[in-house]
């Protein structure tokens, strides 16, 4: 039996939609972002893979911005990639060590 992919839901208003989606994409470890309206109907699904960054995300972000301008209450459903063990995140001190 296949493992169920971990999902989380975030309720946002239209004005916070783009900001929240950008933050989630920046966090990484996300397979798909699904934006739903107040009646739980899917408006857009944005599949994300490890190699999708920069210019490839621009059309999706433009669509998210347009949705944000038209909608009031939305739900962002995030499908995260399942990991077997936690991914170590370097601290600020580790990232800046050895830099002038």
Q: What is the pLDDT of residue 98?
A: 58
Residues in CB range of 94: below 8 A, 6 or more apart: none
Q: What is the pLDDT of residues 49-94, one digit of tens each?
A: 655 555 566 677 778 888 877 778 888 899 887 665 555 555 555 5
Q: What is the pLDDT of residue 20?
A: 87
Which residues partner with 78 through β-bridges?
A: 8, 33
Q: Is residue 47 within 8 Å of residue 34, measured between CB atoms?
A: no
Q: What is the pLDDT of residue 36?
A: 92
Phi, psi of 35 (to 5 degrees): -105, 125
Q: What is the pLDDT of residue 100?
A: 56
Q: What is the pLDDT of residues 22-48, one digit of tens each?
A: 888 887 778 888 999 889 999 888 887
Beta strands, E only, the chain: 7-13, 30-36, 42-47, 73-80
Residue ranges of domains in the chain: 7-96
């Amino acid at each position: 039996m296949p493992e169920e992919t971990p999902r989380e839901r975030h309720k946002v208003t239209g004005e916070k939609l783009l900001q929240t989606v950008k933050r989630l994409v920046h966090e990484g470890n996300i397979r798909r972002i699904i934006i739903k309206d107040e009646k739980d109907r899917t408006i857009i699904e944005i599949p994300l893979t490890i190699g999708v960054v920069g210019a490839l995300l621009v059309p999706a972000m433009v669509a998210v911005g347009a949705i944000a301008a038209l909608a009031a209450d939305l739900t962002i459903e995030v499908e995260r990639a399942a990991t077997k063990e936690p991914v170590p995140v370097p601290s600020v001190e580790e990232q800046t060590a050895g830099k002038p």
